[in-house]
Amino acid sequence: MKLQWRIYNDEDDDYSDDPDPSIVGSLAQVGALADINHVTQVHSLRKFASDLAGDYPYQYTFIEPNYGDEPILGTSTYRGGSSQHPLDDMHGGEGLIKAVYETIRGSSLWSSSLLIITYDEHGGFYDSVQPPGGVDVHAPNDGSENSPFNTVGFTFTQYGVRVPAVVISPWISSGVNHETYDHASVSATLSALFGTPSLTDRDLYAVDVLHLLDLAQPSEETPSTLRSPYRTTNRDAFERRPVSEDDPLTDNESLHGFLGVALKTRLEICADDEAARQEHIAEVRAIRTLGQARRFLEETHTMIVAARESVSSPVRSSGDLVQAMGSAR
């Protein structure tokens, strides 16, 4: 079975109580995946409600937050976004969750929906529960344990600290489930639902969440709206660290990740224009300062907007589509 899927991200930063004035935090990190085109396959979350109101044929939907000022000048505070990453407050992420939940809850798809809210990591805070040892954790067996990037020889057979996750559906009883899951449980759930092949041994053996759907009929006690998030009034702990555009580019891993997504997107926009592709590669290799990194990211966002406008114009063939994307660079 070939699934239909759709990707959204909070590129317009609609939910923060202190939105960041830059736009580079809107670059979707899912765009780093090889087969994901940032221009044609990542959509603004502003379209989510209208899409669900129409014929929505997608069995799997992925929604990514806005990262605020994370890439801007490499300050790495994530302030003013909706990812709930330290050092931002919780407001933007709570607003994002509220908007997504209420959109699904008010749609005709609610009775057949399963919403999973989770995070990429635990946030770096103290956890009162020690990571379990002696648990049969399956290594992915995808070559990552022998990768040259795995400099510490990690075998991926040890769980880390807990990561928050909320599973929402009208078919689920309220409460806390104490079974052990991991991020691969999402892929395992898709495999259990639709028969999709596993990606690695990690999701092949991961526990899916379908057994949580234990009600005989959809619950009628689910709220149609959620409480508005609390607005932060004291921001003294969240002030941006003063930096200069002339400060050197450091080994800020997240900033380099954003630059990688930006370069990949530029190469996609250039299509078969090899001269332009080499020009963009040379440009990113020449970045030495935080100001240069910021400008590269902001210019990439401008290119994405222009390319989307070109793609949205009527095209006669796939060749026309490639030409339209190339002309947007």
pLDDT at 71: 59
Q: Give tens-digit pLDDT for 126-174.
A: 889 888 877 778 899 999 988 998 999 888 888 889 999 999 999 999 9
Q: What is the pTM of this model?
A: 0.89
Average pLDDT over residues 264-285: 96
Average pLDDT over residues 314-320: 40
Q: How confident is the model at residue 325 (pLDDT cuts 50, 70, 90)?
A: very low
pLDDT at 131: 87
pLDDT of 232 > 50? The answer is yes
Contact 179, 207 (CB under 8 A): yes
pLDDT at 310: 86
Q: Give tens-digit pLDDT for 24-46.
A: 889 999 999 999 999 999 999 99
Contacts for 47 with CB less than 8 Å, ≥ 6 apart: 8
Closest by CA position to 116, among listed 208, 13, 253, 222: 208
Q: Percent of the chain at pLDDT above 70?
A: 89
Q: How confident is the model at residue 74 (pLDDT cuts 50, 70, 90)?
A: low
pLDDT at 250: 81
Average pLDDT over residues 64-90: 81
Closest by CA position to 44, among listed 13, 78, 70: 13
pLDDT at 290: 86
Average pLDDT, the chain: 88
pLDDT of 326 > 80? The answer is no
Lowest mean pLDDT among 106-120, 143-157, 241-255: 241-255
Kind and range of the H or E element at 9? strand 5-9
Tokens describing residue 198: 């596993």
Give one word for 200, left, alpha or beta, with left for phi > 0 and alpha for psi -120 to 50.
beta
Q: How confident is the model at residue 108 (pLDDT cuts 50, 70, 90)?
A: very high
pLDDT of 294 > 70? The answer is yes
Q: How confident is the model at residue 235 (pLDDT cuts 50, 70, 90)?
A: low
pLDDT at 320: 39
pLDDT at 1: 62
Give the DSSP per-residue string, 161-219: S---EEEE-TTS-SS---S---THHHHHHHHHHH-PPPSSHHHHSS--SGGG---SS--
pLDDT of 118 > 70? The answer is yes
Four-point Cα dihedral 304, 64, 295, 288, nearest 10: -130
pLDDT at 135: 75
